[in-house]
A = this chain, B = another copy of it.
């Protein structure tokens, strides 16, 4: 990782403490992180200038080194969280993998919980998932089937499958990770979809869809329940798509009639 500019050397390059942000919802946290990205985490030292690090030439605007460090931290975090779970991945180890000082991780992401949230957001890109699911127009059929396909893509896509397993395993064993997963799945993915359909009780619909998504993840990818784990993508879409369609857009019966 060529992000050594940000590494703390004998204390001189120690990043400033980040401004305090109140604990808040994931989307707020992510925008905070995005803002922090543009700030300068460390003053350049004479030692660094002497090394001729290229980005010392331009001292204003977003620094390539800063962006590279942030990307390197996110990648290291995703890898660590996937391999060791939330509890087993320390900020120190993530910083080491990324080739930066642990203080820089705190500067960018404030806490391990927020780093976990940012690494989920970065890996899974919820906006593009929502866009793909709503592609056919929010009120027409096929929303549930597209959600099923988007889910398969996340769990079986080369770039995201390890992340997904890491997130789920972490969420089961650690409360902070569970909270992050819950917020991400409902607030960033399913609520925008349920709201776009314009039906009653979008929160209930989003949480019902969440239960089937989480169950599929567990049964197919973690527990390996057969024959579900071997069904083709088309079979999954045909069998489970209608469940999502009903949860998101169907008439929810009155409990009195249930």
* Chain A interface residues (CB < 8 Å from chain B): 145, 168-169, 171-173, 178, 181-182, 185-186, 203-204, 207-208, 210-220, 222-229, 231-232, 234-235, 237-243, 246-247, 252-258
Contacts and interface: CB of A to CB of B under 8 A. Distances in A.
A212 B215 contact: yes
A151 to B, nearest CB: 12
Contact of A227 (B178, B203, B214, B215): B203
Contacts of A182: 223-225
A256 B227 contact: no
Given A237-B258, A238-B255, A258-B241, A219 B210 contact: yes
A213 B214 contact: no
Contacts of A168: 172
Contact of A235 (B169, B220, B240, B258): B258
Contact of A228 (B204, B216, B252): B204
A194 to B, nearest CB: 12
Contacts of A204: 227-228, 231, 239
A225 B255 contact: no
A242 B253 contact: yes
Given A213-B215, A242-B253, A234 B258 contact: yes
Given A207-B229, A210-B225, A242-B246, 14 more contacts: A182-B224, A182-B225, A203-B227, A204-B228, A208-B239, A210-B215, A211-B219, A211-B225, A211-B240, A214-B218, A214-B219, A234-B258, A238-B252, A238-B257
A207 B229 CA distance: 9
A178 B211 contact: no
Given A173-B172, A232-B255, A253-B239, A214 B207 contact: no
A228 B254 contact: no
B253 A208 contact: no
Contacts of A173: 169, 172-173
Of A171, A186, A207, A240, most buried by chain B (CB within 10 Å of CB) is A207
B207 A219 contact: yes
